Amino acid sequence: MSDENAQAEALAADSPEPAQNQPAEAVKLPMNGIRVIDLGTFLAGPYAASILGEFGAEVFKVEHPIAGDPMRRFGTATKRHDATLAWLSEARNKKSVTIDLRQQEGVQLFLKLIAKSDVLIENFRPGTMEEWGLDWQTLSQANPGLVYLRVSGYGQTGPYRHRSGFAHIAHAFGGLSYLAGFPGETPVVPGTAPLGDYLSSIYGAIGILLALRHREKTGEGQIVDIGIYEAVFRQLDEIAASYGLFGKVREREGSGSFVAVPHGHFRTQDDKWIAIACTTDKMFERLAEAMERPELASSGLYGDQRKRLAARDEVNRLVIEWVGSLSRDEVMTRCLDCEVPVGKVNSIADIFADEHFQARGNLAKITEEGLGEVVVPGVIPTLSETPGRITHLGPVMGNATYEVMRELLGISADDIKRLRQRKII
């Protein structure tokens, strides 16, 4: 075990959040014994490797010997020259191995590594791996049981397959951005986080688990193919069925919903925001009670969903006025007392102060050499018997290259020195 891992695990043992901070040996993690090669860059695909690593998989991040993964330089810089906060958070639990796949000897080293691994993840534009001599036939010959996740903007087939892909483009192409914003106004970015990258990686992780299950039965590997836009499109509930059956195009609705009212975000007297969701008549009845206006839920006024929808502007006006007359804490208390679905619209400062985030271990505190305590999102989902963990944050570039070359691939020290001199590793 490296000194870095030992230090991270010692720190983890002192932490009150057991789910992500138990030492790797403390529990039998469900992905123990699975070796993952993460060849991608940035986030779409590599995040799938992060998920598997949190639950015990050994993850080797393969990077170019000179440039490394560009995500090391993406986001907020830190005192570590090779690590932004985004890298530290999303490359956690991985070990870095440097190999230049643009050199033939590097390709041969990579194939030796593939032969000793279970999963390969990449997110290059379709055709790139083939250009390097790493087509599926070659990879599967090296390892017939290989599970191969390929994430790209538009997938490996179809007329757009060679287009570059980014989460922002996937949000637009997949239909999400069209729904984000207020009626008649410019579609907005649906949050500043690259949701498509995360979503495609989650689906990728599911695909890997399914393929590994198939391999258990047959010994056969296979390709898992996902376009980032597909992961976005799959989240859009009934819009495909609605258009297919009725030709209905759902438009932007601001913070509201076409299926329910009141159902949106409302500003409080102290200039904060809360979310209220009343999707049934019973929920609205409870809200009317919280507002001390029980008559609003009568059959003669807005007690029926259809009447509320027909009077959307008036119902929203009543709720806006009521929420705007009280502080956020007062609105929260009244709604919770009456069992109205309500929540704060949290900033990250609110999240850090929230007792529920703390109690659930959603804010993991990891000490990083030279940086001190770094807070990153905790491990999810929570497994009762085999919880995931964080052993360390994003690795220093090449920190496991020697380990892999010498111990795993059996390359001599002299050959390793030669490979370094030629910048193949």
End-to-end CA distance of the chain: 22
DSSP 93-104: TEEEEE--TTSH
Active site residue 118: no
Q: Where are the beta strands (DSSP E) in 170-262?
A: 222-227
**What is the Cα–Cα distance from 312 to 260, expressed in whole angstroms?**
9
What CA–CA distance (Å, rounded) separates 378 from 278?
30
The rounded distance, in Å, linking the Cα atoms of 328 and 330 is 5
Radius of gyration of the chain (CA): 25
The packing angle between helices 281-290 and 328-337, to 10°, is: 130
Residue 231 and residue 200 in contact, taking contact as beta carbons nearer than 8 Å: yes
Q: Which of 197, 281, 337, 414 is catalytic?
A: 197
Longest dimension (CA), the chain: 87
Using CB atoms within 10 Å of the CB of residue 44, give its burial: 0 to 12 exposed, 13 to 18 middle, 19+ buried: buried
| Token output for 291 | 């507002």
Return d(Cα 409, Cα 109) in angstroms, integer: 8
Q: Environment class of residue 110 by beta-carbon count within 10 Å: exposed (0-12), middle (13-18) or buried (19+)?
A: buried
Alpha carbons 262 and 293: distance in angstroms, whole number: 15
Strand partners, 276: 264, 342
Q: Which two tokens stand for residue 254?
A: 């601001």
Q: Rounded CA gap, 191 and 411, in Å?
A: 47
Element (H, E) at 292: none
DSSP labels, 239-253: HHHHHHHH-------
Distance CA 213, CA 209 (A): 6
Which DSSP symbol is given to 308?
H
Distance CA 99, CA 412 (A): 16
Please give the positions annotated as active site. Answer: 197
